[in-house]
Amino acid sequence: MRTATRNNTTAFPAPELDTSITYLVTLVSLEQRDNVDAAPRYTPEGKEINPARVYWKFQLTDIDSGRTITVPDSDQPFYVIGSSSDSTYLDTTGAFTARARQWMHALSGRTLSNDESDAMLSVSEDDPNENHALPYCLIGSAAYAELSTFDRADGSTGYGIANLTRVVKPGANGRKGRTTTVKSDTEQLEDLPF
């Protein structure tokens, strides 16, 4: 195994982002991988489920200017990767609702019932694992995001999704809100950086 070095900061160059403001994020891809480090989980019937991680790839847009955030010294969009478990559990009190379910609600623009959530999940032709059902129908959907920072192994700053909230359009339920006409261009996606 190779150890991290401090001279590879150009591998994933990131712009300096202001984490005190809200960004518009557009979901551009989803990927699920088995999480070999996690303890196994079981269905109520006793069937073992391989734990998995879901990687949500988001394109960022500055809300005020409508400008897509790009990789430094490039015109390529900068992507933030969010991670969740594969659970879509909904706790009616809200305290223990799974992160993936919260993000599905935000990207859908409303709270989903269990049936609606389940209906969104499908397995990609490229992934024969039937346990890797993801809400691919949400690709292209947008939400507001608050970002968090973390230190990468090389010492550079990385960004993650701290919170997603739904886009509220003016007049929806009498609320004030922001609208956007920003659409993501999913034709030129880069591979996930891991």
- What is residue 11's predicted lDDT score, i.e. its pLDDT? 64
Query: In this structure, what token pair is assigned to residue 66?
Result: 């409508």
Q: Find the range with the poorest average confidence among 20-24, 67-71, 93-97, 146-150.
A: 93-97
The answer to whether residues 172 and 185 touch, using CB atoms and an 8 Å cutoff, is no
pLDDT one-digit tens code per residue, 151-182: 988 888 899 999 999 998 765 555 555 443 33
Maximum CA extent, the chain: 56
Q: What are the φ and ψ backbone dihedral angles of 101, each rounded to 5 degrees?
A: -65, -40
The answer to whether residues 84 and 43 touch, using CB atoms and an 8 Å cutoff, is no
- What is residue 125's predicted lDDT score, i.e. its pLDDT? 86
* 82 three-class SS: strand
Rounded to whole angstroms, the Cα distance separating 136 from 56 reads: 10
- Rounded to a whole number of angstroms, the CA Rg of the chain reads 18
pLDDT one-digit tens code per residue, 7-52: 444 567 889 999 999 999 999 999 998 887 778 778 788 888 777 8
Secondary structure letter of residue 53 according to DSSP: E
The answer to whether residues 148 and 83 touch, using CB atoms and an 8 Å cutoff, is no
Q: Which amino acid is at 95?
A: A
Does 72 have pLDDT greater than 80? yes
What percent of the residues of the chain are helix, what percent strand, and what percent coil, each to the nearest 5?
Answer: 15, 30, 55
pTM given for the model: 0.77
Rounded to whole angstroms, the Cα distance separating 107 from 141 reads: 6
Q: Where exactly are the structural domains of the chain?
A: 23-184
Using a pLDDT cut of 70, give the percent of the chain over it. 81
